[in-house]
Structure 1
Amino acid sequence: MTPVAMSLEELIPSSHRKSYVYSILIRTALVMSTLIVGLSIPFFGLVMSLIGSLLTMLVTLILPPVCYLSIARGKVPPVQVALCCLTVAVGAVSSVFGSYSALSKIIESLRG
């Protein structure tokens, strides 16, 4: 929420920026809107679990080694290539298991 709050705080006129009241109001409104969305959408937690299992593994375990190997192509020793491939494989397997688990819980919730 911090990046969103900071970008909204930049819209405050410069004469009022030193006041913390606007910052508190913006952050409170953001948290309240998130709470309303979370409570009003059914299966919100399960959908967030699905998104998290897909995107977290992609950003943390899959993309960094792939980018490293593409940037340092030809200069990487075979041991590092093997470790990068192992990391990508672990990330892909974890993403598949997490996505399967989240999808199965969503389907179970929809049926029952």
Structure 2
Amino acid sequence: MTPVALCLEELLPYEKAMKYSTFLRTGLVMSTAAVAVLVPYFGLVMAFIGAFLSMTVSLILPCLCYLSIVGDKTTIMQRIVCVFIIVVGVVCVIAGTYSSVAGIIQSVFDT
């Protein structure tokens, strides 16, 4: 929640941002908790988003960008390690996405 809170605090004048920072951050946490309680399958949807986007952004894209930028200047070992990380990332994305989607489908049909 810190990046969201910082962005919202930047919209306020400095004096008010310092004064209302605690209220703003508390409100953000409370609103997130309310959404988590009120939205059905919130945890499963967050698992889906985390499995798909988190692995893509943290494992796959950095290696692909590195190989794209550096290109022919990499050693064979660097390429092997990057390709290995990409493959592990793709496997994690597929397994995590399948698991979360299967959980969502199972939860929907169980009710």
More helix by share: 2
Q: 1:106 to 1:15 in 2, by over 3 A?
A: closer
Residue 8 of structure 1 corresponds to which residue in structure 2?
Answer: 8
1:51 counterpart residue number: 49
Q: Which amino acid aligns with 2:64?
A: V
Matched with 1:38 is: 36
Corresponding letter in the other structure for 1:57: M
Encode CA deviations 1:1-59: one digit per residue, 9 max, x unaligned.
Answer: 1121112222333443443xx11110111111111111110000000000000011101
Give, in whole Å, the separation in 2 of the partners of 1:33 and 1:106: 23
Match of 1:63 in 2: 61
Q: For 2:84 and 2:24, how far apart are their aligned partners in 1? A: 44
* Gaps in structure 1 of 5+ consecutive residues: none
Partners in 2 of 1:18 and 1:52 — Cα distance? Answer: 32
Alpha-carbon separation, structure 2, partners of 1:106 and 1:37? 17
Poorly superposed stretches of 4+, deviation over 4 Å: none
Q: Distance in 1 between matches of 2:91 and 2:15?
A: 53
Structure 2 residues not aligned, in runs of 5+: none
Change (3 A) 1:33 1:18: closer
Counterpart in the other structure of 1:94: 92
Query: Percent identity at matched positions?
Result: 47
The TM-score, its normalising length taken from structure 1, stands at: 0.91
SS of residue paired to 1:74:
helix
Question: Matched residue pairs, number?
Answer: 110
Give the superposed CA RMSD: 1.2
In the alignment, which residue of structure 2 is the partner of 1:82?
80
